[in-house]
């Protein structure tokens, strides 16, 4: 049988993730390569108790089909949290539950992008977004990311010169770089977009994980009618529950609802009900503060060790929150060589190449600081330093 696949399947960039997971799971390898939150900080006991209560009180209804929008009490909780934390006038009618915020990437592109349409994103940009968007055959423009946000002159030129459907960005603790947009840049980006036909897709997967506990004003505060915002409980409660959401203007949400219904009818309803019961009976703010504090300690330790152990010419970002930082290797070093030699030395890193949609990244690596604990971070970076010095 000769199988014939849609043309769009040839548009997906080659995935490095299968190889990455294979080597990262090898015995004795300390992995900084994954994108997982720390398993030690998942409240298994609290979630188990919430699940027990749900099965006792509403077992049959929670195991039945539900609406595409998602569990209303959970959407009300999310909207209330937006109002309290960020001053956004969110209502439950503007929230829809999805299978992790990753599903938002697929469905937003599905409803907005025709083959050949123009979209924009950061450089470097989130690998999962590059893969999701590529299926719909757009022309992807990458805007260089500075320490304060997307380069404003490049961003303005992109919007001015092309009919950009949307620009995708992660303003808070960006993946892969760990950078956070300044408030000045958020206002400037909103000003550039205001009155154009371009939406801003604000991925806020890491917005709760600032080490200082201080929320940053979202771009949606400055551009409410042109911003689509997504969020997730994966980083702050449990990724295996696959509960995220989209917060969008009604015209966008109506089309999104149609696409969502066609894709899967609705997200896992049992997980939604259990999650809402957990959130209603537990202090999420206290939990998030604790996780953010621990991640901050890991990040500071990693930055200190990078400064102390690595040879001259290697630099790194200094995140304010989130789960990742990015390193630029000394001149002449290849991230793939570092990856391969690192596995032999018992440490795994993620080469930067897949994050650069227009090529590049050969001299960068992404490191995750949310999964490994103190001694593992020390030993892993000791191994990585040996690799870097050997190759340099």
Query: Which of 165, 155, 239 is CA-nearest to residue 190?
Result: 155
CATH of domain 14-43+286-391: 3.90.1150.10
Q: Which helix (H) or strand (E) holds 325?
A: strand 324-328
Does 21 or 221 have the greater pLDDT score? 221
- 253-280 pLDDT per residue, tens: 999 999 999 999 999 999 999 999 999 9
- What pLDDT, on a 0 to 100 scale, did the predictor assign at position 24? 65
Architecture category of domain 46-281 in CATH: 3-Layer(aba) Sandwich (3.40)
Query: Which of 315, 304, 283 is CA-nearest to residue 377?
Result: 304
- Strands 95-99 and 347-348: what pairing? unpaired
Q: Compute the mean pLDDT over every residue in the chain, rounded to the nearest whole number.
A: 96
**pTM here?**
0.95
Decide: 160 and 203 in contact? Cβ < 8 Å.
no
- 213-249 pLDDT per residue, tens: 999 999 999 999 999 999 999 999 999 999 999 999 9
Task: Give dist(CA 33, CA 21) in Å, integer.
Answer: 9
- What pLDDT, on a 0 to 100 scale, did the predictor assign at position 113? 98
Beta bridge partners of residue 101, listed in sequence order: none
Domain boundaries, the chain: 14-43+286-391, 46-281
- What pLDDT, on a 0 to 100 scale, did the predictor assign at position 221? 97
- 167-219 pLDDT per residue, tens: 999 999 999 999 999 999 999 999 999 999 999 999 999 999 999 999 999 99
- 104-150 pLDDT per residue, tens: 999 999 999 999 999 999 999 999 999 999 999 999 999 999 999 99
* CB-based contacts of 215, cutoff 8 Å, min separation 6: 85, 86, 207, 208
- What pLDDT, on a 0 to 100 scale, did the predictor assign at position 34? 86
Q: Which helix (H) or strand (E) holds 384?
A: helix 374-391
Decide: 112 and 166 in contact? Cβ < 8 Å.
yes
Residue 28 confidence class, pLDDT cut points 50, 70, 90 = confident
Query: Which of 18, 19, 28, 32 is CA-nearest to residue 348?
Result: 32
67, pLDDT greater than 70: yes
The residue count for the chain: 392
15, pLDDT greater than 90: no
Widest distance between CA atoms in the chain: 62
Q: Do you find a cis peptide bond into 223, omega within 30 degrees of 0?
A: no
Decide: 220 and 190 in contact? Cβ < 8 Å.
no
- What pLDDT, on a 0 to 100 scale, did the predictor assign at position 19? 67
- 333-346 pLDDT per residue, tens: 999 999 999 999 99
Label residue 305 left, alpha or beta by phi (over 0 means left) and psi (-120 to 50 means alpha). alpha
């Amino acid at each position: 049988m000769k199988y014939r696949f849609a043309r769009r399947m040839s548009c997906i960039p080659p995935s490095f993730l299968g190889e990455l997971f294979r080597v990262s799971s090898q015995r004795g390898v300390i992995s900084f390569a994954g994108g997982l939150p720390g398993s030690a900080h998942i409240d298994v006991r609290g979630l188990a108790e919430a699940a027990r209560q749900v099965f006792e009180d509403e077992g049959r209804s929670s195991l039945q089909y539900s609406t595409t929008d998602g569990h209303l009490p959970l959407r009300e909780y999310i909207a209330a949290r937006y109002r309290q934390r960020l001053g956004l006038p969110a209502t439950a009618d503007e929230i829809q539950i999805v299978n992790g915020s990753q599903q938002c990437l697929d469905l937003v592109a599905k409803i907005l992008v025709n083959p050949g349409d123009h979209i924009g994103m950061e450089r470097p940009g989130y690998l999962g977004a590059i893969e999701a968007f590529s299926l719909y055959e757009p022309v992807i423009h990458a805007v260089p990311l500075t320490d304060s946000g997307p380069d404003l002159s490049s961003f303005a030129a992109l919007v001015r010169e092309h009919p950009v459907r949307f620009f995708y960005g992660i303003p808070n603790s960006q993946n892969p770089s760990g950078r956070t947009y300044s408030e000045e840049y958020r206002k400037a980006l909103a000003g550039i977009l205001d009155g154009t036909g371009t939406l801003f897709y604000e991925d806020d997967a890491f917005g709760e994980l600032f080490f200082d506990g201080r929320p940053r004003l979202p771009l949606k505060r400055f551009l409410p009618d042109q911003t689509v915002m997504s969020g997730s409980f994966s980083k702050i409660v449990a990724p295996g529950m696959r509960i995220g959401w989209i917060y969008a203007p009604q015209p966008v949400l109506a089309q999104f609802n149609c696409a969502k219904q066609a894709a899967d009818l609705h997200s896992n309803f049992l997980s939604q009900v259990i999650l809402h019961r957990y959130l209603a009976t537990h202090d999420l703010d206290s939990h998030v503060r604790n996780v953010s504090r621990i991640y901050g300690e890991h990040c500071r330790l990693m930055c200190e060790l990078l400064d102390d152990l690595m040879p001259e010419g290697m630099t790194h970002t200094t995140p304010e929150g989130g789960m990742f930082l990015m390193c630029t290797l000394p001149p002449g070093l290849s991230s793939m060589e570092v990856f391969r030699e690192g596995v032999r030395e018992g440490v795994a890193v993620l080469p930067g190449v897949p994050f650069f949609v227009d090529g590049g990244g050969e001299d960068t690596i992404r490191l995750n600081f949310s999964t490994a604990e103190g001694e593992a971070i020390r030993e892993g970076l000791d191994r990585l330093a040996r690799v870097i010095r050997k190759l340099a």
